[in-house]
């Protein structure tokens, strides 16, 4: 059954179970489509069965190989245990992406020479530390706000080892801004972290940041709005990109695939497992302008298997 027929059945209100009974899948993409549909409906058993069928239909598909395992041991706290995320950002296309990101952050530090820097969601510091090292001037005092205890420890250990003055806040940026209403920063930066905030929380957060920072630098992927992840065209493009992304990893492929790539990408299909809310660059620019940032500019940073990454810079309202 072609994906367009499955999509039509879905739009007509059929369940994955009904669609599969009427039209048993004969291709791996059709079986994967039904697996993700059942998963989105909160039906783990048929989701696993379709995923196993996809594996049999295409033994060369890495996604079909990893999906049954992921559905068996599904977890959504992708930053709680840092191994998979740590291996993900240190391999494949992330090597070039993180070089480009750190270089851009270093240039931004040179341009603004901040005395105080807030890094929102620094993870284990893989983008932050090289940026601080590459920047020409003295390192600013760094505040880190990161809800993952394990990742935050990695970042603070690295800052400690370099003798860079810092404070670590093991919480969300929303909490930090609420609990420290008088705190201001010369520069706030964030790489691939603001996408974690759901859209309804993002506006108020950006507004609060605009009032309390002099400059802002954000790196995010430019992701067009996905009205329906089960649209066959988007679904097929997602399958192709996923396969490419997974194959960028060799020894770590299972760890990275099951522990990070699959949970993040599958979040697009099932709202109950969503881990991020990506946005187009135009939407980021508009969000920042609406929040009160001025001089908002965006520059393409680096191509990547999922979508290209962009640097967005803006001026906040805090005079410094």
Ligand X SMILES: C[S@@+](CC[C@H](N)C(=O)[O-])C[C@H]1O[C@@H](n2cnc3c(N)ncnc32)[C@H](O)[C@@H]1O
For position 192 contacting ligand X by CB under 6 A, the verdict is yes
Nearest-angstrom CA–CA distance, 158 and 155? 5
Counting contacts by CB under 6 A, is residue 172 touching ligand X?
yes
Of 140 and 147, the one with the shorter C-beta distance to ligand X is: 147
Stretch that binds ligand X, among 18-26, 157-165, 192-200, 266-274 (CB under 6 A): 192-200
Closest listed residue to residue 230, CA positions, set 20, 32, 27, 28? 32
Residues 98-137 that bind ligand X (CB under 6 A): 120-123, 126-127
Q: Per CB under 6 A, does 262 bind ligand X?
A: no
Q: Coil, helix or strand for 154?
A: helix
The pair of structure tokens assigned to 218 is 């954000």
> Is residue 167 helix, strand or coil?
strand
Decide if residue 79 touches ligand X (CB under 6 A).
yes
CB of 31 to ligand X, least distance (A): 30
The residue assigned the tokens 């080892």 is: 161
Q: Is residue 196 involved in binding ligand X (CB under 6 A)?
A: yes
Q: Does 146 bind ligand X (CB under 6 A)?
A: yes
Tell me if 148 contacts ligand X by CB under 6 A: yes
For residues 110, 116, 122 and 124, what is the CA-based torsion angle, rounded to 10 degrees?
90
Does 213 bind ligand X (CB under 6 A)? Our answer is: no
What is the dihedral sign for C-alpha 122, 131, 140, 217?
negative
Which token pair is 101? 């990101």
State which residue, 127 or 239, has the beta carbon closest to ligand X.
Answer: 127
Q: How many CB atoms lie within 10 A of CB 263?
A: 20
By C-beta, is 89 or 312 nearer to ligand X?
89
Task: Decide if residue 63 touches ligand X (CB under 6 A).
Answer: no
Work out how close the CB of 190 gets to ligand X at its nearest, in angstroms, rounded to a whole number.
7
d(CA 284, CA 195): 10
Residues binding ligand X (CB under 6 A): 79, 89, 120-123, 126-127, 145-148, 151, 172-174, 191-193, 196-197
């Amino acid at each position: 059954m072609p994906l367009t027929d499955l999509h039509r059945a879905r739009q007509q209100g059929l369940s994955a179970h009904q669609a599969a009974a009427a039209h048993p899948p004969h291709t791996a993409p059709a079986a994967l489509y039904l697996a993700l549909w059942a998963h989105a409906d909160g039906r783990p058993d048929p989701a696993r069965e379709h995923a196993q069928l996809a594996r049999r239909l295409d033994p060369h598909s890495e996604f079909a190989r990893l999906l049954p395992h992921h559905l068996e041991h599904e977890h959504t706290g992708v930053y709680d245990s840092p191994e998979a995320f740590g291996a993900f950002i240190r391999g494949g296309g992330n090597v070039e992406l993180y070089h480009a990101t750190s270089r851009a952050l270093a240039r931004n530090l040179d341009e603004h020479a901040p005395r105080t820097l807030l890094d929102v969601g620094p993870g284990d510091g893989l983008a932050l530390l090289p940026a601080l090292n590459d920047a020409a001037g003295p390192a600013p005092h760094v505040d880190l706000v990161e809800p993952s205890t394990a990742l935050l420890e990695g970042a603070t250990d690295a800052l400690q080892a370099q003798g860079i003055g810092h404070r670590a806040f093991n919480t969300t940026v929303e909490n930090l801004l609420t609990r420290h209403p008088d705190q201001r920063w010369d520069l706030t930066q964030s790489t691939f972290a603001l996408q974690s905030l759901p859209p309804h929380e993002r506006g108020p957060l950006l507004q609060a940041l605009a009032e309390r920072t002099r400059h802002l630098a954000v790196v995010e992927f430019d992701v067009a709005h996905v009205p329906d992840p089960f649209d066959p065209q988007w679904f097929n493009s997602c399958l192709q990109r996923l396969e490419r992304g997974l194959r960028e990893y060799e020894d770590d492929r299972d760890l990275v695939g099951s522990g990070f790539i699959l949970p993040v990408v599958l979040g697009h299909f099932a709202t109950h497992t969503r881990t991020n809310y990506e946005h187009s660059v135009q939407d980021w620019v508009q969000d920042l302008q609406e929040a009160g940032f001025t001089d908002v500019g965006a520059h393409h940073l680096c191509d990547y298997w999922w979508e290209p990454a962009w640097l967005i810079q803006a001026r906040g309202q805090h005079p410094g």
